[in-house]
Amino acid sequence: MLINMKEMLKVANENNFAVPAFNISSLPMLNGVFKKCEELKSPVIIAIHPDELSYVEDSFVKTIIDKANKSELPVVLHLDHGSSIKQVINAIKDGFTSVMIDASTFKFEENIEITKKVVELAHSVDVSVEGELGTIGVDAGDEYGGSKDIQYTKPEDAKKFIDQTNCDSLAIAIGTAHGIYPENYVPKLKLDLLTQIKDLVKIPLVLHGGSSNPNAEIAEAVKRGINKINISSDIKVAFFKKCREVLKDNSLREPNAIYPACIEAMCEVVEEKVKLFESDNKAELFFQ
């Protein structure tokens, strides 16, 4: 069942859990995520970044839509980190039910103006919009954008941003970074800041850079009001690490001999995240 993200995160917000948003860029990964989420009865957001979209192309998007419509799960197809109105329009034409406009590196008033334009456009065709305020950290190998220096979201700015843009959800900066953290780096989320923001705003809040953070902090972030968490690096690392191991056997060449172990490794991470975010067995809430 394909729905927009406003519908999905309304349920998550009311029931105090977070929906995983998995960045997907191949059919084996897509099939694995769907199968595991169906097994766990978890709603799921399939996120595609513009860089990933340029690789998988429109035909893959049609496959996702078809798969979502045939699934008994609530599914959102989401444009991750759209950086221009043109990208947003193309995503809507392709059938995305949710879009993110990331104008977080612009000045505050410019971010409001750009996001407001996207909201007006998307809402006219029942597509939900995620905005971003503050900047997420980024590692050297990450393609999602961000800033080397995290600019934390200010609670009063978050309220003003939401009031003026009418966005459906807001990605906030509380100390995460895109990509995999350096070996000796331990991230520290500003959970008190999250609480302050949640006390001021009522819409669902989003956490980007959800990979590699301590589970205890993520669990606490969910309890304090995060309703969507983006996961990209963790599932890709698991998938391709296993691929490299499997391909050490030079005799293998058939996809059905190579991919199953890779999918299984990725699905172990998917299951861990679903249970950590407490979205397992929540699909039934959408049919009450």
Each residue's pLDDT tens digit, 208-255 = 986 778 899 999 999 999 999 999 999 999 999 999 999 999 999 999
CATH of the domain at 139: 3.20.20.70
Measured CA to CA in angstroms, residue 154 lies from 50, 57, 161 at distances of 28, 37, 10
Q: How far is residue 28 from each of residues 2, 25, 69, 167, measured CA to CA in Å?
A: 20, 9, 18, 33
Asked if 145 contacts 81 with a C-beta cutoff of 8 angstroms, the reply is yes
Q: Is 208 annotated as a binding residue?
A: yes
* Residue 132, marked binder: yes
> Positive or negative CA dihedral for 171, 177, 179, 181?
negative
What pLDDT, on a 0 to 100 scale, did the predictor assign at position 104? 94
* Cα dist from 118 to 18, 34, 46, 85, 166, whole Å: 24, 29, 20, 7, 10
Structure tokens at 7: 């519908």
Catalytic residue numbers, as ranges: 80
pTM over 0.85? The answer is yes
Dihedral over Cα of 238, 239, 244, 247: its sign: positive
Is residue 49 part of an annotated ligand binding site?
A: no
Q: Is 102 annotated as a binding residue?
A: yes
**Structure confidence at residue 152 (pLDDT):** 94
Q: What are phi and psi of 247, to 5 degrees?
A: -75, 0
Structural domain including 131 reads: 5-287
Domain count across the chain: 1
The DSSP H or E segment spanning 100 is strand 98-101
What is the pLDDT tens value at each position of the chain, 288 positions in all?
A: 999 999 999 999 999 999 999 999 999 999 999 999 999 999 999 999 999 999 998 899 999 999 999 999 999 999 999 999 999 999 999 999 999 999 999 999 999 999 999 999 999 999 999 999 998 755 444 454 445 567 899 999 999 999 999 999 999 999 887 555 555 656 678 999 999 999 999 999 999 986 778 899 999 999 999 999 999 999 999 999 999 999 999 999 999 999 999 999 999 999 999 999 999 999 999 998
123 in a labelled binding site:
no
- Residue 187's pLDDT is what? 64
Other C-beta atoms lying within 10 Å of the C-beta of residue 127: 25
